[in-house]
Structures are given as C-alpha cells and as structure tokens.
Structure 1
C-alpha cells in the first residue's frame, strides 16, 4: 500500500484490535507454522488463524489470506509473516502479521471501504468502529472512534 499520512494511525487501530489474535498465534510453535508454510498447507494455517480469531471476533472477520513467509536461520530467532484478510462490516483490510519470539506487528497492504468518505479521518474512525463492533467483547471507544 502506498503510505500516506493516515496509514500509521490505521495500522495502530488494527494492531490494537487484533493483538489478542496475534497473542494466541504466538502460543503456537514457530517450527510448526514454518513447516505448514513450507509445505503450503494453507488450509491448516487457515484453521489455526480461524481458531485464534474465533475467541475474539465474529466468524469471518479475521481470516488467513493468500500465504506467508518465514525467516529461519541458524544464528537467530524464527520470524513468521502471515497474510491476513480482516473484514469487519463495511471495510476489507489486507495485511501482513509479523510474529517473532517476543512481539508481533501488523502492516496494511490494502484497505477498501465499501462506502468511503471523502474525509480520510472519517474513514479511519469508521475502521475503528467497525473493528470494535466485530469483537465479541467491545472495548470503550477511543477519541478517534467516536
């Protein structure tokens, strides 16, 4: 995605929303995820992502995307990147979830609003509201989401 002034804010909103899912996925053995990626067992990875997401989001909100990648070297910790499709009401986000031994991160590749506003800040607030509505336990709205 071409980076713009509001990209970072949207990534922060998305990261906060899916952090519990990332935490669940980080409980899995990195070697197992890497094996599934290497052997292109994408259905199994999709099941793992769905299982992690179903604890926090309505069905179909967070899904495994089209693939992933990994870094596994003798001299370092493994790193896994999973393509995700996050689809709360009215918006589709295509992102990459990076998982390491101590942290996780998210990078948005593409975001599409069903009925986009001309004001990017309204779109960002809509993203925050939509993600919050897709959760089983809704958090208190932030200033951006109000």
Structure 2
C-alpha cells in the first residue's frame, strides 16, 4: 500500500496528543495487559484506556477499538498493541498504539471525516483543531521521576 503524504503528519498529530495517556497506560503492570488480552477480557482493557484518557481528553474522545495483542516470547521484549479510536468532533481516527519497555509508536490505519474537504491538507488542519478541542484544558502531564 502506498503511503499518502498527509498520513505521516496525521500520525504525528495523534502521537503527540496521546503522549500523556501513554505515560498513564505504562503505569499499569504489563502482566495485567497480557492476562486481559490473552483471556479476551477487552472490557477490562477498555476500562484501563478510559481511566488513562479521562485525565487528558473529553469523555469518549479516546477509547479502545476492536481489541489488542500481547506479543510475548522467551527471547524478546514484550510488546503490547492496542487498537484505539480517537473521536474528536467531526472525525474518527482508527489507529494502533504499540508499547514496549522503552518505546511507543502510533500507526494510523484510517481517518474518517464527517465533512471531508477535497484537499487533504485542510482535512489535516481540521483534525489538528478538533483534537485540540477534544483535549481537556489545563490538564498537565504527570512529572517524570528524575
């Protein structure tokens, strides 16, 4: 599949917006993610995502999508992948968040606009403004331990 020029800028928008949520999600023991995902208790994973998101986003703006994956082996570092949906007003972003011990990444799969413009750049600008509007004003990320 050919990457579109605007796809990277949208991934950056989403990744930047959810950084504080990712920090919250990393406070949860990885064994909990592994257990919930392997046992297909996605309602529990959704509760974890909702709890982390409520500090930074309006209710329902960021939520678990279809599920997730736990990549765990004897030879490698564990990796948790969550299907997430970012739902600012007028748009829906379907993406995956991948978390390891030291890294996190976002892969946007699809963006749907209620009223899309013919120019992708204008849609990206709209998405940026909508994400900012969906974020809770004055919410400060937790200070990192030094």
TM-score (norm 1): 0.91
Residue 144 of structure 1 is matched in structure 2 by: none
* Cα distance, 1:6–1:99 mapped onto 2, change above 3 Å: same
Residue 111 of structure 2 is matched in structure 1 by: 111
Q: Which runs of 5+ in 2 are unaligned?
A: 140-146
* Cα distance, 1:138–1:128 mapped onto 2, change above 3 Å: farther
Contact 1:83–1:94 (8 Å) recurs in 2: yes
Q: Which runs of 5+ in 1 are unaligned?
A: 140-146
State the secondary structure of the residue aligned to 2:97.
strand
The size of the alignment, in residue pairs, is 139
Contact 1:132–1:138 (8 Å) recurs in 2: no
Residue 91 of structure 2 is matched in structure 1 by: 91
Q: Separation in 1 of the partners of 2:68 and 2:25?
A: 14
> Pairwise CA RMSD of aligned residues?
1.5
Q: Separation in 1 of the partners of 2:70 and 2:8?
A: 24
Q: Separation in 1 of the partners of 2:65 and 2:138?
A: 25
Alignment deviations for residues 50-74 of structure 1 (CA, whole Å, 9 cap, x no partner): 0000000000000001111121111
Residue 9 of structure 1 is matched in structure 2 by: 9
Q: Separation in 2 of the partners of 1:36 and 1:43?
A: 9
Q: Deviating runs (4+, > 3 A) in structure 1?
A: none
Q: Separation in 1 of the partners of 2:30 and 2:75?
A: 15
